[in-house]
Amino acid sequence: MDPQKVESLIGQVLAREFPNIPSKQRIDKYGNRLNFSCPYCGDSNEKRKKRGNFYMDTQSYKCYNGGCGIFKSSLGLFHDFGVVDKLDDSEKAEIKSIIDEARSKRKTVFGSLDITMLFDEDINRYLIPRDEFMKRMNLVEVRGSSIERYLTRRHQYIDSKFAWDKKNERIYLFNMTPDEKILGLQVRNMNSIKGSPKYLTYKLSVIWEKLLRSKDTDFILACKKVDPISSVFNVSSIDFGQDITIFEGPMDSWLWKNSVGLCSSENKFPFDVDNVRFWYDWDQAGISKSIEMLTEGYKVFNWGKFLEEHAITKNKKWDLNDIVVHLRATGKKIKKFENYFTNDILDMGYFINS
């Protein structure tokens, strides 16, 4: 599909929707992505913030403005704003072929589940609005609470993805859609009660059943179709057209662009795509999993080489959040993390000999 034709049609849409606002008619290009003000919701009042994103390689449009979150194919977008007739039949057929190919690549290993389900109306009724969950669970915002300092020291950005259970001393980490509906969550216990697990992860159906005490068995059964993605933190905001970095922990993923956190080294990324790489923790489980993925030809983060080259001890557990805290505290200068991803089987020695 001719990129200039697509950009021209989007330009016509923006000119029609924002006739007297030149800043909202501007289209910025970032590789295969076009960024502009959302013609559906009008976008942010801040001129520099544009939440509409059009992906050339998949011919899809997504708005990341809270409360909008609309997802459309290019044909749907052009139809909604009355410019689809400016495409001839061959152009429409080409776009449809691109859309179908992109959709087939996003199928999951769990069967017919597709990333587009995240933006379908029929699953919205299963998701939990954050404000409703906060009230029902008696949670408070982290900002201004006693736990804010802990997260700030971890260099986490304090926003709505966190909540604080003051009574039970637990941090809630939310896996949310851009319009702040909860897909899943993880609880981090901050107390030292003996035998209490440090982390508890809840899939969507379990949240309804165990935390919100729903007795509607049919509803809970329906929620299970969302469960495969409910513990894939950031799943609703990543760009599937770019490299996806897979971490164990949600807080690690919140420090790295276009990444997800799976909550465990044993959890699988449920989408069958080729552009993934793995950044497991530097501990026995993470080392074993890195070796496994390296033997299968995947890219993994080479902790052994990174730690050796920067004279950092190997004799402790590391994850991205830990190493960021360490580096900022010590002022140590490092080479780019990007340099340490490898799929070279000869690099296995850095893991086996650790």
Q: Kindly report, residue by residue over 177-212, the tens digit of the pLDDT.
A: 888 999 999 999 998 665 568 899 999 999 999 999
Other beta carbons less than 10 A from residue 223's beta carbon: 24
Q: Does 256 lie in the same domain as 173? A: no
Q: Say yes or no: 215 and 300 in one domain.
A: no
Rounded Cα–Cα distance for residues 202 and 283 (Å): 24
pTM over 0.75? The answer is: no
Question: How many folded domains does the chain comprise?
Answer: 3
Pair (73, 11) in one structural domain:
yes
Please report whether residue 156 resides in a domain. yes
- Residue 324 is part of which domain span? 244-352
Residues 139 and 209 in one domain: yes
pLDDT, average across residues 40-54: 76
Phi, then psi, of 170 in degrees rounded to 5? -135, 135
End position of a domain, from candidates 47, 73, 105: 105
- Two tokens at 76? 């749907």
Using a pLDDT cut of 90, give the percent of the chain over it.
Answer: 63
**Predicted confidence band at 111 (pLDDT cuts at 50, 70, 90)?**
very low
Is there a contact between 301 and 338 (Cβ–Cβ < 8 Å)?
no
Is the pLDDT at 99 greater than 90? The verdict is no
The two structure tokens encoding residue 298 = 């995947």
The pLDDT value given to residue 114: 57
- For the ranges 110-114, 228-232, 280-284, 344-348, the lowest mean pLDDT is seen at 110-114
The CATH number for 299's domain is: 3.40.1360
User: Residue 132, Cα to own-chain centre: how many angstroms?
Assistant: 22
35: which 2 tokens?
């960024």
Tell whether the model's pLDDT for residue 157 goes beyond 80.
yes
Q: Which of 273, 280, 274, 234 is nearest to 257 (CA)?
A: 234
Nearest partner of 259 among 271, 242, 273, judged by Cα: 242
More confident: 62 or 244: 244
In the chain, the percentage of residues whose pLDDT exceeds 70 is 90
Q: Are residues 94 and 31 in the same domain?
A: yes
Round the average pLDDT of the chain to a whole number and report it. 88
Q: Is it the case that residue 353 has pLDDT exceeding 70?
A: no
Task: Say if 195 falls within a structural domain.
Answer: yes
Distance between CA atoms of residues 76 and 39, nearest Å? 13
163-172 residue pLDDT tens: 999 999 999 9
Residue 121 pLDDT more than 90?
Answer: no
* 17 Cβ neighbours under 8 A, 6+ residues apart: 24, 39, 42, 81
Task: Report the pLDDT averaged over residues 265-289.
Answer: 90
